[in-house]
Amino acid sequence: MKILITGGAGFIGSNFIYYWLKNHPDDTLVNLDKLTYAGNLDNLRDVESHPKYQFVQGDICDGDLVNELMFSVDIVVHFAAESHVDRSITGPQIFVQTNVVGTQILLDAAARHQVKRFHHISTDEVYGSLELNSQEKFHEGRKYDPHSPYSASKAGADHLVLAYYHTYNLPVTISNCSNNFGPYQYPEKLIPLFVTNLLDNKKVPVYGDGLYVRDWLYVEDHCRAIDVILTKGQPGETYCVGGNAEISNIELTRKILKLMGKGEEFINYVPDRPGHDRRYAIATSKIENKLGWKTRHSFNEALRKTVTWYQENEWWWRKLRNKKEGEN
């Protein structure tokens, strides 16, 4: 098969490429990535000369390029997105352009070339927020209630994907995932930010009271979930993918501090951000019961592996931190 992967130089996309080349060696992968701040060819250094892998630098909003690349493609796996909530608050326009308009352009080309499956990677943030002390979890039938420009743009993309299924019979699937973590995650995200700060003996910023709860999903488990959806999932269906690992930000911070031999004097409480959702949690019963997927990594094991990866790969994250600090 020939698979077009958008945003494959980003965090989850690059992990997916490694996963797919290892587990499906006969398939050909084309990676379309604009190489914005979160796209990094260093993520794919180990496969750049792989005979089954091709990189194309370009924008999913470039209709001519997308149409050209879609020729003879069997499957599209669409990761490309602006994804940082804080950035969406200060500059929402690019989120609408990339996440909504870019997705529509991809869908249009996929329908024109009659691809066999269009899989869209989305987020649990489209469902809004949950109460801290409730037992409720996000599920596929929950009403959308996005609270940030980022989540609103992803919600819009989700609706477009399903509209192309109903209107044009494009065989689509969607996965709404919880917070991913693991190797190659851009160091402005919580776990790599905290780990690299501590490696530099700097404090870690914790929003508000630190009681915000997230469900954490190890990126390798997410890649396997996508594989299962592509193999067994039904067109027109959405699947929620979570790590079944709910933890508050402050508890997560303390786990990272402990793994790195640091004390709580390295915690810096900072003012809360606007529209900060209190709790996310994912009900994974549909993908587990219908497709047979379950996580294979415990949260503590995966967190330890992730911390170790950043400790051993300063070559990768140091240049990104230096670049970001140079921009500020």
Residues classed as catalytic: 124-125, 150
Contact, 194 vs 253, CB < 8 A?
A: yes
Contact, 31 vs 5, CB < 8 A?
A: yes
How far apart CA 118 and CA 230 sit, in angstroms, is: 9
Paired with 72 in beta bridges are none
Measure the CA dihedral 95/101/107/111, to 10°: 180
Contact, 218 vs 297, CB < 8 A?
A: yes
How far apart CA 51 and CA 236 sit, in angstroms, is: 33
How far apart CA 202 and CA 194 sit, in angstroms, is: 9
Number of H helices, E strands in the chain: 12, 12
Which residues are CB-neighbours of 35 under 8 A, at least 6 positions away? 9, 41, 57
